[in-house]
């Protein structure tokens, strides 16, 4: 069984500075740590995985079971 159920934490892009280049604003480290801790306690060791800021799809949580994804969304108020 693979990690087929996934959700990405909200990421924003803003124009800043005189050059008006886009910068990416990631979720705060405290929020990511809280999500990881919840997964450790509620989902278990092998039922989830986290892909960090420097991956192709940043700040993404993946779950083996759909029920875990639904619970994660409800606890943290996320949606697709």
Q: Which run of H or of E encompasses 39? A: helix 29-42
What is the extent of the structural domain holding 48? 5-76
**What's the predicted TM-score (pTM) here?**
0.86
Q: Which two tokens stand for residue 70?
A: 């639904």
Tally of domains within the chain: 1
pLDDT digits over 15-69, tens only?
888 888 899 999 999 999 999 999 999 999 899 999 998 899 999 999 999 999 9
Tokens linked to 25: 């604003």
| Cα-trace Rg, the chain | 14
**Cα–Cα dist 14/49, whole Å:** 28
């Amino acid at each position: 069984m693979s990690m087929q159920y996934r959700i990405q934490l909200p990421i924003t892009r803003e124009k800043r500075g005189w050059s008006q280049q886009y910068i990416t604003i990631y979720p705060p480290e405290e929020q990511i740590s809280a999500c990881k801790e919840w997964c450790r306690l509620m989902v278990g060791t092998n039922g989830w995985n986290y892909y960090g800021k420097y991956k192709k799809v940043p700040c993404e949580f993946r779950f083996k079971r759909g029920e875990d994804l639904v619970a994660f969304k409800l606890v943290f108020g996320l949606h697709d």
